[in-house]
Chains A and B, each alone.
Chain A
Amino acid sequence: MNQASAYPWREAGATPFISIKNVTKRFGNFTAVDDISLDIYKGELFGLLGGSGCGKTTLLRMLAGFETPTTGSISIDGADMTDVPPYERPVNMMFQSYALFPHMSVEKNIAYGLKRDGVKGAEVKERVADMLSMVELGDFGKRKPRQLSGGQRQRVALARALVKRPKVLLLDEPLAALDKRLREQTQFELMNIQDRTGVTFVVVTHDQEEAMTLSTRIAVMDAGKFMQIGEPADIYENPATRYIANFIGSANLIPVTVIDRQQDKLRLQHESSDTVFEAISDQPAAVGDNTTLALRPEKILIDKSPLPDCDNNVQGTVKEIAYLGKISTYRVVTAFGETLEVTAPNQVRTSGAGHRIEWDDQVYLGWSSYSAILLSS
């Protein structure tokens, strides 16, 4: 497989599979989705990420056909879908509540969609059996949904949505109802199934970790608009705004003023002290501009002795430590006044004392000028 087909969105002329053009959805005075456009490509596992009420579910429901856009158009595989009712779309949905029919057995639930399409009995049986074995529920066909565990129900819902071989599978918070351990395991199962079936997945989630793990690309939504669209690593390493920097992972935000710029090398002064930082960025910030420097907690080094190799060096006092096993999180009050959050792997066993950083220790913090992110506004 060549680079171009694995990442079609990187290619200029690629044909989109789902095309959302200038879609707006209003409910009375409330604008749930505000003039958005998006292209999704065949075989993608696309994540729609945002908090509650951001419009992500409304967008998904417009793809499914449960809501019609107030303005704008949606097409799937070249066909206009804007006014096509849900029961005629080549799209299936996995509901957040799973929406399994409580009065039907697992088999009947899965067969339901096939029967609506007039598929013949023998074929229905075969395809239902295939699906049951794919989701590893071969022995559960005769059970009613209420006799299943949460994880099993989730897999029935997935099988029911996939059995019709839809062009697009929509997943509304597919893992939200599962506990943490099951969620992690199921994430990989979902990716595996998506890979095997080749169906284009659109996943709505409020969980940024889930979106990062699952998705080929993520669109971050807020107040009915896309804040940023990109590959997970891209969004994490180059967040466009303060909102995204904080929503995806966590970030220390330092208000700064640009005091010098040589091409992409910038010198920035802290807003309320004379501390100066160095950063490398292609953001169009000019000398004199007020802006924000974002620092990921894991990109800051922490040590009891100075860190001469770092471009940026500050001193501070440890005020809080959260020990999380493989890593610890420190909150350090720096000499220039800001409190920075720093995470560091626990490479030394704690009983060894001496090297270990304790409360109220004086520490040195340092980071590379490539690690600091200059936000656009």
Chain B
Amino acid sequence: MSISKTHAGFGNWLQSRWQTVVSGIPFFWLLLFFLAPFFIVLKISLAESIIASPPFTRLLDWSGGGLPTLKVSIDNFAYMWEDSLYVRTYLSSLKIAFVSTVLCLLIGYPMAYAIVKAEGTTRYILLLLIILPFWTSFLLRVYAWMGLLADQGTLNSFLIWIGVIEKPIRLLYSQFAVYVGIVYTYLPFMILPLYANMEKLDISLQEAAADLGAKPVAGFFTVTLPLTLPGIIAGSLLVFIPATGEFVIPDLLGGGNVLMIGRVLYSEFNANHDWPVASAVAIALVIVLVVPMMLYHKVQAAEALRES
């Protein structure tokens, strides 16, 4: 009797707290494995590098006995600021990500528009063809370009064969190769949000513009473009933010010739074992990207609100 009573009691408690249970489990996971790591990175970025294991000083020093002394050092950030290599790398990463985003938009926008204009099964197949590379290995798609761009690769052989060039030109391990790689791998991330946005576009609005005397080009700039702006923003941020911190593409296609912050972070950590500087690089990258990230979050929330 009493057992079943407590049982019912627990059951009732669970039922009345179902919202806490449902939201609490994933919340706890994310706090532990997503948010907490950031504070650890922040903490280490404020420590000093030493040769030991772990290779950094403690912020709270208990060695003096009694009250610990707090040791916060912004040396790592100062070092980054003074060494022009880091500043140049950040700027170079932002530039590469920005140009790639614009290129993705220029290629992706007409493609998304063409897919929306297609009908029935054709549209479905085209969409599947956009999504398909998204499911296949990212690494292997980058690798495919290594074969295409190599000195004796397909593109050079083709250009020599048609007589445009006489001997191979440097394509791989250049900035050009990095642009190609980023545009190539991130293009679906541009097209899919654009498609989702354009699909909802009311065609009668474009007809109304034509009816009121707007020629196709004027109609595009006054009606279609402003109305697809949320899709443009979402797609651009989905390309821009991860591209800024990209590591694999500059490493494989850019060789040592292209400065990108993701590579610097990786080598600072794995090759130089300088954890505090690597952490400071990461924190600085998050600070650089926090504005576009919040913008993306806002666009998504606005879109969700519009749908409900």
Contacts and interface: CB of A to CB of B under 8 A. Distances in A.
Interface stretch (B110-118, B184-192, B209-217, B238-246): B209-217
Given A95-B204, A95-B208, A112-B209, A103 B214 contact: no
Interface in A82-136: 85-88, 91-93, 95-97, 99-103, 112-113, 116-117
Given A112-B222, A116-B218, A101 B213 contact: no
Interface string B198-232: 00001011011111111100110011001100000
B204 A113 contact: no
Contacts of A113: 212-213
Given A87-B215, A116-B218, A101 B210 contact: no
Contacts of A160: 212
A86 B227 CA distance: 21
B226 to A, nearest CB: 5
Contacts of A64: 207, 211
A164 B223 CA distance: 19
A153 B139 CA distance: 53
A123 B113 CA distance: 36
Interface residues of B, number: 18
A88 B219 CA distance: 13
B223 A86 contact: no
A95 B222 contact: no
Report which residue of A87, A97, A112, A164 has the largest number of chain B beta carbons within 10 angstroms of its beta carbon: A87
Nearest to B204: A99
Given A99-B204, A112-B222, A85 B212 contact: no
Given A102-B227, A103-B226, A103-B227, A85 B210 contact: yes
B207 A87 contact: no
B112 to A, nearest CB: 19
B210 A87 contact: yes
A86 B204 contact: no
Given A97-B202, A99-B205, A86 B226 contact: no
Contacts of A100: 208
A113 B211 CA distance: 8
Contacts of B223: 101
A66 interface: yes
A101 B205 contact: yes
Nearest to B207: A66
A337 B99 CA distance: 83
Report which residue of B212, B214, B215 has the largest number of chain A beta carbons within 10 angstroms of its beta carbon: B212
A92 B212 contact: yes
Contacts of B209: 101, 112
B211 to A, nearest CB: 5
A87 B214 contact: yes
Contacts of A101: 205, 208-209, 223, 227
Contact of B207 (A95, A103, A164): A95
Interface string B171-186: 0000000000000000
A88 B212 CA distance: 9
A66 B227 CA distance: 21
Nearest to B222: A112
A320 B205 CA distance: 49
A365 to B, nearest CB: 50
A133 to B, nearest CB: 20
A97 B206 CA distance: 13
A99 B207 contact: yes
B208 A99 contact: yes
Nearest to B219: A87
Contacts of B212: 87, 92, 112-113, 116, 160-161, 164
B211 A87 contact: yes
Given A102-B227, A103-B227, A112-B222, A86 B211 contact: yes
Contacts of A92: 211-212
A93 B213 CA distance: 11
A55 B216 CA distance: 27
Contacts of A116: 212-215, 218
A93 B207 CA distance: 9
A112 B212 CA distance: 7
Interface in A240-271: none
Interface in A47-71: 64-66
Contacts of A93: 207-208, 211
A99 B210 contact: no
Contacts of B215: 87, 116
Interface of B: 202, 204-205, 207-215, 218-219, 222-223, 226-227
10 contacts: A64-B211, A86-B211, A92-B212, A93-B208, A101-B205, A102-B227, A112-B209, A113-B213, A116-B213, A161-B212
Given A66-B207, A112-B209, A164-B212, 6 more contacts: A64-B211, A87-B211, A88-B213, A99-B208, A101-B227, A113-B213
The 4 closest A-B pairs by CB, nearest first: A113-B212, A116-B213, A99-B208, A99-B204
